[in-house]
Amino acid sequence: MEFNVELAWNILPSLLKGAGITLALIPPTMVLGMIISIPITMARLSSNRVLAGAAWSFTTFFRGAPALILLYMVYNGLATLSIVRDTFLWNIFSSAYTCAVIGLTLNHAGFLTEVLRGAIQAVPKGLLEAGYSLGMNRTKVFITITMPVGLRLGLSAYKNEVILFTKGTAAVGAITVIDLLRVANETVSKSFDPLTPLLMAAAAGADQDAPELRSQLLNK
């Protein structure tokens, strides 16, 4: 089997449209994931065992569960609940795109919580003690020292998570979102040519990751 240039050219518009949908999933998921992960990180670091235990359970479940399973649970599982099916929530969960954002956000928040926790705990204690010696209270030390330094320390791990998360968006095709991989798979089923569409999809996916990879190489 050889690469079919004519087929590649014909499916290029559909692949570009699918790539656009894939890219459209990233900003809302990243923003919502960050919003969710910050309070969970605070709970994870709390001395309160109940809060810490609840936060640990959240991160353990949503980091451990495959993204595909989470998408099925949100899109197919929640639709069976009467509280969703028979209420205003159906307007939200009837959309495959919205369910994809919700499922990916929960998965992303689980990983991001651990990234933030590790970054905050990596802040040198000497910096914190210096802040306290200047008369700062715990809140001011956290805002002016812990968070800025922690975010900087966690930046590399965060960029790695963004790359892995971007690759993980390929799972959304399983819940009828017409993303890049689903376009390629549909082309395979119609043309019986697995090589051309999948190579084109891989090239498009590699192009999406290229800016992040270049950034990592420049920072090394």
What are the extents of the domains in the chain?
5-219
**For the segment 179-195, what is each residue's pLDDT rounded down to a tens digit?**
888 888 888 888 888 88
Task: State what percent of residues in the chain have pLDDT above 90.
Answer: 30
Mean predicted lDDT score pLDDT of the chain: 85
Q: Taking the CA atoms of 99, 100, 101 and 107 in sequence, report the sign of the dihedral they define.
A: positive
- How high is the pLDDT of residue 37? 93
Quick one: pLDDT at residue 215? 46
What's residue 207's pLDDT?
55
Angle at 25 (CA atoms; ends 104, 81), nearest 5 degrees: 50
The predicted structure's pLDDT at residue 61: 94
Residue whose structure tokens are 């791990």 = 157
pLDDT at 166: 83
15-32 average pLDDT score: 89
Question: Nearest 5°: phi and psi at 83?
Answer: -65, -20
Mean pLDDT of 52-80: 91
- 4 versus 46: which is more confidently predicted? 46
* Contact predicate 150/116, CB 8 Å: yes
Per-residue pLDDT for 218 more than 50? no
Of 209, 49, 32, 24, the closest CA to residue 112 belongs to 32
Would you state the pLDDT for residue 162? 86
CATH class of the region 5-219: mainly alpha
